[in-house]
Amino acid sequence: MKIDILTLFPEMFSVFNHSILAKAREKGIIDINCFNIRDFTENKHKKVDDYPYGGGAGMVMSPQPIVDCIKHVKENNGGRVIFLGPKGTTFTQSKANDLSKEENIIFLCGHYEGIDERVYNYIDEEISLGDFILTGGEMAAIPVIDSICRLVPGVLSSSSSYEDESFYNGLLEYPQYTRPEVFNGERVPEVLISGHHENIRKWRKTMSLLLTKKNRLDLFKKFSLSKEDIKLLKNIDKL
């Protein structure tokens, strides 16, 4: 997968030089590049923003440097242009799954009071992290890119590394435990050290259902319960 990022602060994306995504980049599974929008401005003072027509607080990113940057990147990347902005559709795990199947993606990071409306003529989609405001699109791009890249085949050791995680199948993830068996008087659930794989599977599924119902009722209501799920919830005391 090739990802190109259009930003005023390329140094913020050094986070991708570490950990799992750094290894994926070294293996050539993922190619992440940053382009500084400021390098494309025709303003002799390197300005990329100006006051909004009609008045108002703050500054607006000018169309010329953004559009020229998009055109330059498009010469070697035919992917969709995705703008990280507050007016976009809310990003979800389902969206991450869809985008992880793309070969090329271009992300545009906004700043200040936003971008000139005419830039939208060159944008394919706008994505938002949620109903809150960030200091810049870079802050939104980092988690979006990370969530997409980790689903690309070969980035993680196996698909099982993410298939049981929260949101992947519509439920929150079950509780996890590791050594020691007893910590501060609290013991690991007996079923997890029983060696009985089917009972462990049932316990984990039940815990996912219960946690989702307790913490994210909105997700639970959307989830289609199977016959086994209903049976597990009814027989929870037997686990």
Q: 22-33, pLDDT tens digit by residue?
A: 999 999 999 999
Instruction: Tell whether residue 130 is among the known ligand binding residues.
Output: yes
The response to whether 167 counts as a known ligand-binding position is: no
Across the chain, the runs of DSSP E, i.e. the strands, are: 2-7, 31-36, 49-50, 60-61, 80-90, 104-109, 125-128, 182-183, 186-187
Residue 210 has pLDDT above 90, yes or no: yes
Domain boundaries for CATH 3.40.1280.10 within the chain: 2-149
Widest distance between CA atoms in the chain: 73
Is CATH 3.40.50.1970 the classification given to domain 2-149? no
CATH number of 164-238: 1.10.1270.20
Whether 9 has a binding-site annotation, put simply, is: no
Distance CA(142)–CA(17), nearest Å, equals: 12
- Could you tell me the pTM of the whole model? 0.85
With contact defined as beta carbons under 8 Å apart, do 127 and 104 qualify?
no
pLDDT range class, residue 238, cuts 50, 70, 90: low
Q: Above 80 in pLDDT, residue 79? A: yes
Pairing outcome for strands 125-128 and 80-90: parallel
The whole-number pLDDT of residue 1 equals: 98
Portions of the chain given CATH number 1.10.1270.20? 164-238
% residues pLDDT > 90 (the chain): 88
Instruction: Kindly calculate the radius of gyration of the chain based on its CA atoms and give it in whole angstroms.
Output: 23
CA dihedral angle for residue 163, residue 17, residue 99, residue 122, rounded to 10 degrees: 160
Q: Is 85 annotated as a binding residue?
A: no
Consult the annotation and say whether 133 binds a ligand: yes
Q: What is the mean pLDDT of residues 74-89?
A: 96
